[in-house]
Structure 1
Amino acid sequence: YRSRAGGNEWEALTHGLPQSNCYVNVLRDAMAVDSLEDCGIYFGTTGGQVYGSADAGDTWAPIVRDLPAVLSVEVQTLQ
């Protein structure tokens, strides 16, 4: 979900993410953002997947699958 109204309104961000039979958690330390415009967002799951969005969450794509549980994610922006 994303809010651009201070939490008063929320929109679901599901394009490119599993919609059924997906029972994983995302831990607080397993989400990171980069400093680019549009903001890149990345998260890892307890099921061993890492997903990324290069457009502030509008669309998502898997980066890697079949890892052990992802407990933290770090992002380094190279320029």
Structure 2
Amino acid sequence: MEIKEFLPLVWKVFCEFEASNYPESAKLAFKQAIYDENYLAMLTAYGAYKDNLPTGIIATREGGITYLPMKYKYQEFKL
């Protein structure tokens, strides 16, 4: 798995579900961070695919979850 192939998904999910909660400066900072080579080198990531297309990713850093975006149609909300 190459983390870079998941970055458009990370950005898309952020824009769909989180971006409205942040000022433009924070949105720009997030986008710059997820494409930063030094930042990416600190992450351990695992991706999910459906029909060979990226559908979700979990990225961790120093034992904590950094992000966990997934395409909406693959999210299940079961309580």
TM-score (norm 1): 0.32
Whose helix proportion is higher, 1 or 2?
Answer: 2
Whose strand proportion is higher, 1 or 2?
Answer: 2
